[in-house]
């Protein structure tokens, strides 16, 4: 699954908590600054992909006439262009490789900025970060389904897409994350 911008704070908190609870990582400046740095790294990665997709859309629009003439499938062409431009934007398209890269980047920056210390192998700490990201992603759809079910059985009917719906969704989503120990 692709990480979306609203998920970055939740994933960052999960990574921070998992590092805190693992028993072999110590925090030099507290957990909150660490979580904020992780969130920034995640948001930067998400924004790189957004910039890539904007460029792909721009290329598609510039070549709209040729694509119509040649009857090219727009989705396939989008993917091919995205694949070709990904390296220029520093985006890794395979999710497992991408999450591994992000985990390494998080670990490296946390250590270089002296946010954390550890006395085990770097790989072991990186695996904590990677697994936290994967656990969140694997739980996301399950949690979202639970929240949607709760909203459908809510006392008053909320209309999806409204500000009130979004606020209640967010509140219930965070509640479910707390129940699962993710925040």
* Mean predicted confidence (pLDDT) in 62-77: 78
- Helices vs. strands in the chain: H and E counts, helices first: 7, 2
Distance CA 129, CA 103 (A): 5
- As a whole number, the mean pLDDT across the chain is 89
Three-state SS string across 107-146, please? HHHHHHCCCEEECCCHHHHHHHHHHHHHHHHHHHHHHHHH
pLDDT value of position 114:
94
Percent of the chain with pLDDT strictly greater than 70: 97
The confidence score (pLDDT) of residue 1 equals: 61
pLDDT at 106 over 90: yes
Query: Who wins on pLDDT, 180 or 18?
Result: 18
Confidence (pLDDT) at 170: 85
The CA-based angle 170-35-4, given to 5 degrees, is 45
* Nearest-angstrom CA–CA distance, 19 and 23: 8
pTM of the shown model: 0.81
């Amino acid at each position: 699954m692709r990480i979306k911008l609203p998920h970055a704070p939740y994933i960052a908190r999960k990574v921070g908590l998992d590092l805190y609870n693992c028993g072999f990582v110590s925090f030099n400046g507290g957990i909150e600054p660490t979580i904020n740095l992780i969130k920034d790294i995640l948001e930067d990665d998400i924004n790189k992909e957004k910039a890539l997709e904007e460029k792909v859309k721009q290329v598609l629009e510039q070549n709209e006439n040729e694509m119509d003439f040649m009857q090219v499938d727009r989705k396939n062409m989008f993917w091919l262009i995205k694949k070709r431009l990904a390296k220029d934007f520093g985006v890794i398209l395979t999710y497992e490789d991408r999450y591994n890269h992000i985990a390494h980047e998080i670990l490296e920056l946390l250590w270089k900025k002296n946010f954390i210390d550890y006395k085990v192998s770097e790989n072991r700490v990186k695996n904590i970060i990677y697994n936290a990201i994967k656990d969140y992603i694997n739980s996301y759809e399950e949690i979202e389904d639970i929240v949607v079910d709760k909203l459908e059985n809510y006392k008053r009917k909320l209309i999806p897409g409204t500000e009130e719906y979004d606020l209640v969704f967010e509140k219930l989503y965070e509640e479910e994350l707390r129940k699962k120990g993710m925040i």
